[in-house]
Amino acid sequence: MSTKWDKDEEVQRFREYLKIPSVHPDIDYDGCVEFLKKQARELDLPVAVYELVARKPVVVITWEGVHKQLPSILLNSHMDVVPVYEEHWTHPPFGAVISEDGFIYARGTQDMKSMGMMHLEAVRRLKTAGVRLQRTVHISFVPDEEIGGVDGMGAFAASEEFKKLNVGFALDESVPSPKPKEIIVFYGEKTSRQIVITCRGEPGHGSLVAAGPVRTAGEKLHYIIDKFMALRAQEKKKIDQGAWFGDVTSINLTQVEGGVQINVLPERLSVSFDIRIAADADHEEFENMIIRWCKEAGDGVTFEYVVKNPQVKSTILNDKLAFWKVMDKAVKDMGFILKPVVCPGATDARYVRQQGIPAIGFSPLFDSPLLLHAHDESLHVDVFKKAVDLMEKVIEAVANV
């Protein structure tokens, strides 16, 4: 299908990147690495590929600034995308088809190959125009964000290779806004805590009803589930009253396991919860609450963490952070507003913040439905082109602080 964008080089490079199926599980990142090396050659910029974990490459393209000693700017995106159910897509998920009404259909159009290409295209425009930035800009492309990022940005941010980049400020991903002149930015994230609570009891015949204070594994499980679901209802009420998803603690029961037969009282039952603790919550108090609930449930009730991410301080957005100040002005000068919120999930920015570096999630996608991880993930060409305009101005502003 021919379209009016067939000769638009920015759009065609974006489509080329989208067609690389860097999809979980068992990703081969070679196609992405070769594509990015080609972009670096065209930009006449040096590129480094670090493999801190086998088959998990990190690609960094560097545009040196006038004052190399100043802390640099990091523009980060991830190369991996989530799985697809192809039978539910209008167009092939790695075909990067542009519909007649101008939407590009492909996995990664919103999350987040679009961001990597915005970074590259904005730098391409600035460099072509002969602009020299005061600070060095590093454009990084990391693996495995969609499965936690431990072997991607997690390993990279803790490495000597990362320290040598001398990063002073970073931009990562946010989410599209449905409003035509609003851009959502993330300044912090909730903390992921995934736990399994195990309740033990005496086995016996399924017809028995024990007298006295002794509780079965089922009774103990019931007590635990009641406590967590009551707290979940309190937090859900906040959302029903208009709170942003990122400002509440989310609790979801995801697995119940145990028992051997329907007429046998189980010796063990377990329940799993996926918890994302609000950024302003007291994490120690939250853990002590769980300990107390397990004790109240009865003897033999214990819990263990499957995931226990550390609390990472949010980036403080005020005039003291000059990068934020100029970024906000650049966006306003183009007729848009920034809406700062806490990310309801998790992004690679948390690993950067752990190093004491201010980081903001900035995906300048506006007037767009939220289609991250959805069937028919898509992005309108006009939104992508305008987003590159916005990214160009923001990069120029923060790199000249």
So which residues are the catalytic ones? 80, 145
d(CA 34, CA 36): 5
Secondary-structure percent of the chain, ordered helix, strand, coil, rounded to 5: 35, 25, 40
In degrees and rounded to multiples of 5, residue 139 shows phi and psi of -105, 110
d(CA 312, CA 191): 8
d(CA 284, CA 164): 34
CB atoms within 10 A of CB 335: 9
DSSP string, 338-373: EEEEEESS--THHHHHHTT--EEEE----S----TT
Token pair recorded at residue 73: 């700017």
CB atoms within 10 A of CB 350: 27
Token pair recorded at residue 101: 């009404």
Question: Could you tell me which residues come within 8 angstroms of residue 271 by beta carbon, excluding any fewer than 6 positions away?
Answer: 196, 197, 199, 221, 224, 225, 253, 255, 256, 257
What is the Cβ-side half-sphere exposure of residue 313, based on CA atoms within 13 angstroms?
8
